[in-house]
Amino acid sequence: MKFDYKKLGLKVGLEVHQQLDTRHKLFCACKPELFRGEPEIRFVRRLRPTQSELGQVDEAALFEFRKGLTILYEADRDTSCLVEMDEEPPHELNREAVETSLTVALMLDAKPVDEIHVMRKIVIDGSNTTGFQRTCVVALGGELEVEGKKIPIQHIGLEEDAARKTGQRANQVTYRLDRLGIPLIEVTTGPVISSPEEARKVALAIGRILRATGKVKRGIGTVRQDLNISLARGALIEIKGVQELETVEKAVEYEVQRQVNLLKIREELERRGVREEDLAIEPVDVTEVFENTKCKVISKALSRGGKVLALKLKGFNGLLGRELAPNLRFGTELADIARFWGGVGGIFHTDEMPGYGVTEAEIDGLRSKLDCTPEDAVVFVADSREKAEEALKAVAARAREALKGVPEETRVATPEGTSRYMRPRPGAARMYPETDVPPIRVTEDLIERLRKALPEKPEALLQRLMAEYGLNQKLSRQLMDSEYLDLFERIVKEVKVSPTLVAVTLTETLRSLKRDGLDVASIRDDKLTEVFKLVGSGVTAKESIPEILAWLSKNPDKSALDAVKALNLERLPEEELRRIVDEAIEDSLQLIKERGLGAFGPLMGRVMSKVRGRADAKTVSAMIKERIHEIQSKPDPR
Amino acid sequence: MSLEKSGYRGFLLTVLNEAGVDIGDVIRVENPNYTYEGTLIPRSEFGSEDCIVIKLRSGYNIGVKVTRQTKITKLRSGEKPAFIPPPQPEAKPGLRRVAVISTGGTIASRVDYRTGGVRPALSASDLYSVVPELSDLAVIEADILFSILSENMTPQHWKKIAVATAKKIEEGVAGVVIPHGTDTMAYTAAALSFAFKNLPVPVILVGSQRSSDRPSSDAATNLLGAVKAAAYAPFAEVAVAMHESTSDDSILIHRGTKVRKCHTSARYAFKSINSPPLARVKNGKVTMLIEDYRRRSPRESFEVYPEFEDRVALLKFYPGLNPEVIDFYVDKGYLGLILEGTGLGHVSARCFPSVKRAIESGLIVAMTSQCIWGRVNMNVYDTGRDLLRLGVIPLEDMLPETALVKLMWVLGQTRDPKEAKQLLLQNMAYEFSDRTLMED
Ligand SMILES: [Zn+2]
């Protein structure tokens, strides 16, 4: 679907969160790394909503607490200490992280604050053991030019990353503590972006600035984009956690699509004359309709003493099945809301009936019990009475919102670029001073020192890559936008090997391997360097690089030389190569006689298939050509 | 909060006064190259001398440099937030009465949204609104005795706590809970253990290692555990209720004479030393962990002896300790000295003459060990035997802090050295145990 974004009044603001590659975490001396394997430490906590001066607590937070949610934390001693466990006060703010964020601020022409104050932003979903995220403003204002348009930068912040969620059961959520406390820099733009494509370009431009510092982490999960998207007639929607740059564009597009479709549903409801007071609020017990049901989900719930509750949605027939965005129907939205507020597994609705083992007769029974006309839809849930009731009350509330259009909410991005309901939009963030961490005075001397050591701006960098290493423009750009620029420069300085080969490998080759599903991010820098050393010193040919990398991604603890040996990619001695070429020539004498140099192609293919990775193509090609000439210049014996 | 109490001093205070702005006002701060608007916040304790702190509209605080060029304008007065307490939970009939006598600490507090300051929330209704589950456990009768940091507690405060607690017990509550700062909570627990004779109900001190303005605070779970035990536990002793581990699922009840704060910051800081804990509260149930404990009993024989003598000192021996330190106490008119000796209960031979002089001057001198775990035994080595001969009293497995408090209490009851010595050695509140078991 193509939209006229201008006419729709699209406004997008971007929040880019990028992990910094500091020596230690933001508030303690732990390594800013993740651990694999079994946790050494497990503990269980609850987080209690705190009251503000006004006696208010965050509604969603209070709700979670009342549900009796407990949080299971997992940690290991390498990546977590008592600070992450909230058993020791935070240490002072990591200066290295502060300086990197100030550097970014200066590159974005932002004004560093005179004194940095760390705040506690209340978050009680368990992602922070403290119940708040420590965060601070480092600079305000600033500007970034993207294709001639000035994008205002509102805020440059520094904050601790949250623990990572690794599981969820009915009443317990599991988090790993390793990620908690990794420094994150946050760059927020004004809401001036007016198309999905522009959103991607702005994200890219911010990413370039961040990477230019040489102090950012790389790999999946190290950068997350939050989007604030609004349409003139729609609502302000916050989409959290877009991980890939390519997805930014889709996320905006799909959100526009979703809002436009929700507005169409509103128009349709208006046309059907549905009014708010027509919509039922209280669910009805329809268990008797399903007493002998063949539907497994329902019979299972009933056998556990559950009930089937139903809610009539007057005038909604056909709308629940309507697609809002790829793989997202209006019914999906209702289901997500039911899950969040009722803790149920899901919902059934008449737009997908008969199905899931529910028969036509049962649906008829349901409709007649609720006094439905064919224009009405029914949503029903099988679970404990309490949960089903909460779930359907939330569905009823959401259905009423559909009459108004698009409700404001916070959504979470899916890897495909669509988004799912996450929670209601929180009220103004409640923030308190983090009194355990002393403020940092940002002195003029510090700013001057950082200003003198600013990294190259992206355009200057591009020119230098082309001039210094002879890379073409496209490759230079790719390299700049990859996470490997630093490594590229280190390898080229250290190893005698063609810069273009290194650049191609670190961009195109790695990307294509990643597309094949390989975990190339797990290949460490020193391994990548070793690969080029082996090529540079002639141990293996450059053609073997993709195979070596693929092997290394599956064997992260092995060396590049191990890879060469395991894959039998050691370069052939010249006599051996000559023997293979001669053998091929002997077999193809007839062809050479008939076609002369025309036989080169097939011969090259045949030899390379035998020696790929063990000899470079240039040498093979020279040998074959030499032999063809020899044969041609020999007088025909006939 | 007024400007004078806001922490701003000198130049900054002058500038703010001249600008006619107050804490909580929305102000504009103009410096030559930049301008900010926000709410004026009290100065951070560690803040720079040349920055004022404002809260931006986004909720973030920043420090803004103020020089002679800076222009500060008041945009509007701050709104004084009024606390609207959430609805009271319904009182459940038939529940037991528990007195909550607050002495300080941050077991129950509310945050000032604008400034981040923490205020105590100590009325019964405040307690219910901060920890609504309390209303399912007991009918709370809350009082604020005082609100001080626990490092500022003195034996005079112990006396007041003892008297207030006794009054509540006389009024017939099922138990008493005493919120207390954690730093010296174990000392107060020991003091109350000795002050009460024939205690009829549990008296439970409770604290928090994470203040209650944080969502992760241990205050609510500790308080719930303490109230549960105060209302329903079968024991009638002075105890301390705190987290068993880093998890929020289990509260240990430690005997008041056997408990010590053993970690600066962790939730599981409190440990029972040379004794198992008294009880555990888990999943809403109280389980006794010791068989030999004082049972609940009728109120009739309950008595209070709340006097403490504060001319008693605790002296930790270390290599090179100058014996003049001991002489100092004698010359200052002290009546008792608890030594925290090395190992089984030793101090260097160089101290002997001063120890001798102290005892001859009428001081009670008793020995505990700085090892914390284990029992002193002064019969094993010459040094110990020499000290015994000088008249030093070995205090078995009593904690040094408990020994200090006990000697203060003993000398608050009698000045007669012989009687005092006898009282000191009499097991009054399980401060001595006959058997020391292997630690888990
Ligand atoms: Zn740590």
Q: How far apart are the two ends of chain B, measured CA to CA in Å?
A: 50
Q: What are the φ/ψ torsions at residue A164 (nearest 5 degrees)?
A: -100, 135
Query: Which of A106-115, A176-185, B82-91, B391-400 is the least confident region?
Result: B82-91
Cα of A87 vs centre of ligand 1, distance in Å, is 10
Per-residue pLDDT for A343 more than 80?
A: yes
Dist. CA A186–CA A421, nearest whole Å: 23
Instruction: Please indicate if any CB of chain A lies within 8 Å of the CB of B130.
Output: yes
Q: What CATH architecture does domain B3-76 belong to?
A: Roll (2.30)
User: Nearest C-alpha of chain B: how many angstroms from A269?
Assistant: 38
Chain B positions touching A111 (Cβ under 8 A) are 33-34
CB–CB contacts below 8 A, A to B:
145
Per-residue pLDDT for A342 more than 90?
A: no
Residue with token string 């355009």 = A459
Question: So what's the pLDDT on residue A49?
Answer: 81
Where chain B has pLDDT below 70, the residues are: 1, 80-89, 91, 106-125, 440
Q: Are residues A480 and A535 in the same domain?
A: yes
Expressed as residue numbers, the domain containing A480 is: 456-566
Out of A270, A303, A323, pick the residue that ends a domain: A270
Q: Do residue A432 and residue B82 have CB atoms under 8 angstroms apart?
A: no
Comparing CA positions, the residue from B267, B255, B141, B158 lying closest to residue B207 is B267
Question: So what's the pLDDT on residue A636?
Answer: 60
Coil vs helix vs strand at B102: strand
Q: In what order do the strands lie in the sheet with B285-288?
A: B139-144, B97-102, B175-179, B203-206, B238-243, B250-255, B279-282, B285-288
Any idea of the CA torsion for A305, A331, A253, A9, to the nearest 10 degrees? -120
Q: Are residues A117 and A254 in the same domain?
A: yes
Per-residue tokens: A13: 């603001």
Residues whose CB falls within 8 Å of the CB of residue A598, separated by 6 or more in sequence, listed in order:
none
Inter-helix orientation angle A458-469/A196-212, to 10°: 70
Residue with token string 């001039």 = A467
Residue with token string 């959290």 = A240
Instruction: Please indicate if any CB of chain A lies within 8 Å of the CB of B97.
Output: no
Strand pairing report for B97-102 and B139-144: parallel
Residue A140 identity (one-letter amino acid):
L
Q: Are residues A364 and A504 in the same domain?
A: no
Q: Are residues A17 and A154 in the same domain?
A: yes
**Between residues A31 and B113, the one the model is more confident about:** A31
Examine the residue annotation and report whether B182 is marked as an active-site residue of this protein. Answer: yes
Question: So what's the pLDDT on residue B122?
Answer: 58
Chain A positions touching B113 (Cβ under 8 A) are 52-54, 430, 432
- Return the CATH class of domain B312-425: alpha beta
Give a yes or no: residue A248 inside a domain. Answer: yes
pLDDT, average across residues A403-412: 93
What value, to the nearest 5°, has the Cα angle with vertex B130 and ends B124 and B136? Answer: 70
Q: Are residues A135 and A66 in the same domain?
A: yes
Give a yes or no: residue A411 inside a domain. Answer: no
Q: Residue A602, Cβ neighbours under 10 Å: how many? A: 14
- ipTM attached to this prediction: 0.92
Residue with token string 């063609």 = A498
Dist. CA B81–CA B86, nearest whole Å: 15
Give a yes or no: residue A327 inside a domain. Answer: yes
Residues whose CB falls within 8 Å of the CB of residue A449, separated by 6 or more in sequence, listed in order:
none
Dist. CA B408–CA B424, nearest whole Å: 10
Q: Are residues A138 and A228 in the same domain?
A: yes
Dist. CA A158–CA A17, nearest whole Å: 9
> Which uninterrupted H or E stretch holds A310?
strand A307-313
Dist. CA B384–CA B376, nearest whole Å: 9
> Which uninterrupted H or E stretch holds B336?
strand B336-341
Q: How far apart are the two ends of chain A, measured CA to CA in Å?
A: 71
Alpha helices in B140-289 (DSSP H): 155-170, 185-195, 219-232
Comparing CA positions, the residue from A492, A569, A580 lying closest to residue A536 is A492
Are A362 and A286 within 8 A, CB to CB? no
Comparing CA positions, the residue from A141, A139, A135 lying closest to residue A162 is A135
Instruction: Please indicate if any CB of chain A lies within 8 Å of the CB of B60.
Output: yes
Q: Residues 20 to 39 of B: which have CB under 8 A from any A CB? A: 33-34, 36
Cα of A98 vs centre of ligand 1, distance in Å, is 18
C-alpha neighbours within 13 Å on the C-beta side of residue B87: 3
Out of A241, A270, A299, pick the residue that ends a domain: A270
A126: left (phi over 0), alpha (psi -120 to 50) or beta: left
Q: Return the CATH number at A600.
A: 1.10.10
What rounded mean pLDDT belongs to chain A?
A: 90
In tens, the pLDDT along A83-96 reads: 999 999 999 999 99
**Between residues B412 and A482, the one the model is more confident about:** B412
Chain A positions touching B82 (Cβ under 8 A) are 54
Q: Which of B106, B165, B188, B257 is catalytic?
A: B106
Are A258 and A325 within 8 A, CB to CB? yes
In tens, the pLDDT along A201-250 reads: 999 999 989 988 989 998 778 999 999 999 999 999 999 999 988 899 99
Q: Are residues A397 and A292 in the same domain?
A: yes
Comparing CA positions, the residue from A159, A162, A193, A135 lying closest to residue A14 is A193
pLDDT, average across residues A309-316: 93
Which residues is A111 bridged to in the sheet? A140
Are A121 and A429 within 8 A, CB to CB? yes
Q: Residues 176 to 215 of B: which have CB under 8 A from any A CB? A: 209-210, 212-215
Comparing CA positions, the residue from B133, B125, B134 lying closest to residue B88 is B125
Residue B12 identity (one-letter amino acid):
L
Instruction: Please indicate if any CB of chain A lies within 8 Å of the CB of B65.
Output: yes
Cα of A33 vs centre of ligand 1, distance in Å, is 11
- Residue ranges of domains in chain B: 3-76, 97-304, 312-425
CA distances in angstroms from A46 to A73, A127, A306, B26, B259, listed in the order given: 11, 12, 28, 36, 26
Question: So what's the pLDDT on residue A123?
Answer: 85
Question: So what's the pLDDT on residue A635?
Answer: 62
DSSP string, A296-307: HHHHHHHHTT-E
Question: So what's the pLDDT on residue A420?
Answer: 95
CA distances in angstroms from B418 to B191, B363, B410, listed in the order given: 22, 11, 11
CA distances in angstroms from B90 to A103, A364, B136, B220, listed in the order given: 56, 45, 9, 19
Out of A511, A543, A566, pick the residue that ends a domain: A566
Q: Do residue A48 and residue B114 have CB atoms under 8 angstroms apart?
A: no
What are all long-range contacts of B52-56, with beta carbons under 8 Å and residues at least 24 apart? B52/B8, B52/B12, B52/B16, B53/A115, B53/A117, B54/B27, B54/B29, B55/B114, B56/A137
Give a yes or no: residue A205 inside a domain. Answer: yes
Sign of CA dihedral A534, A540, A544, A547: negative
Sign of CA dihedral A554, A559, A560, A565: negative
Q: Are residues A560 and A593 in the same domain?
A: no
Dist. CA A409–CA A407, nearest whole Å: 6
HEC readout, A78-134:
CCCCCCCCCCCCCCCCCHHHHHHHHHHHHHCCCEECCEECCEEEECCCCCCCCCEEE
Q: Are residues A60 and A179 in the same domain?
A: yes
Q: Are residues A154 and A245 in the same domain?
A: yes
How many domains are there within chain A?
4
Give a yes or no: residue A95 inside a domain. Answer: yes
Examine the residue annotation and report whether B183 is marked as an active-site residue of this protein. Answer: yes
Residues whose CB falls within 8 Å of the CB of residue A97, separated by 6 or more in sequence, listed in order:
A20, A22, A26, A158, A183, A185
User: Nearest C-alpha of chain B: how many angstroms from A54?
Assistant: 4
Question: So what's the pLDDT on residue A614?
Answer: 81
Instruction: Please indicate if any CB of chain B lies within 8 Å of the CB of A131.
Output: yes
Coil vs helix vs strand at B342: strand
Question: So what's the pLDDT on residue A57?
Answer: 61
Give a yes or no: residue A447 inside a domain. Answer: no
Question: So what's the pLDDT on residue A432?
Answer: 84
Q: What are the φ/ψ torsions at residue B9 (nearest 5 degrees)?
A: -135, 170
Question: So what's the pLDDT on residue B318?
Answer: 98
CA distances in angstroms from B166 to B170, B189, B253, B278, listed in the order given: 6, 14, 21, 22
Residue B337 identity (one-letter amino acid):
L
Q: Does domain B97-304 have CATH number 2.60.120.10?
A: no
Question: So what's the pLDDT on residue A575?
Answer: 85
Q: Residues 221 to 240 of B: which have CB under 8 A from any A CB? A: 221
**Between residues A120 and A430, the one the model is more confident about:** A120
Give a yes or no: residue A46 inside a domain. Answer: yes
Interface test with A, best of B60, B209, B283 (most A CBs within 10 A): B60
Give a yes or no: residue A562 inside a domain. Answer: yes
Interface test with B, best of A62, A65, A115, A446 (most B CBs within 10 A): A115
Q: Are residues A175 and A52 in the same domain?
A: yes
Query: Would the pTM count as exceeding 0.80?
Result: yes
Q: Which of A114, A131, A435 sits opposite B64 (nearest CB)?
A: A114
Residues whose CB falls within 8 Å of the CB of residue B291, separated by 6 or more in sequence, listed in order:
none
CA distances in angstroms from B410 to A168, A401, B399, listed in the order given: 57, 73, 16
Residue with token string 């210049």 = A633
Interface test with B, best of A28, A41, A42, A51 (most B CBs within 10 A): A51
Dist. CA A622–CA A626, nearest whole Å: 6
Are A79 and A34 within 8 A, CB to CB? yes
What value, to the nearest 5°, has the Cα angle with vertex B299 and ends B293 and B303? Answer: 85
Question: So what's the pLDDT on residue A67?
Answer: 72
C-alpha neighbours within 13 Å on the C-beta side of residue A57: 24
Dist. CA B344–CA B295, nearest whole Å: 34
Do B97-304 and B312-425 fold alike per CATH?
A: yes
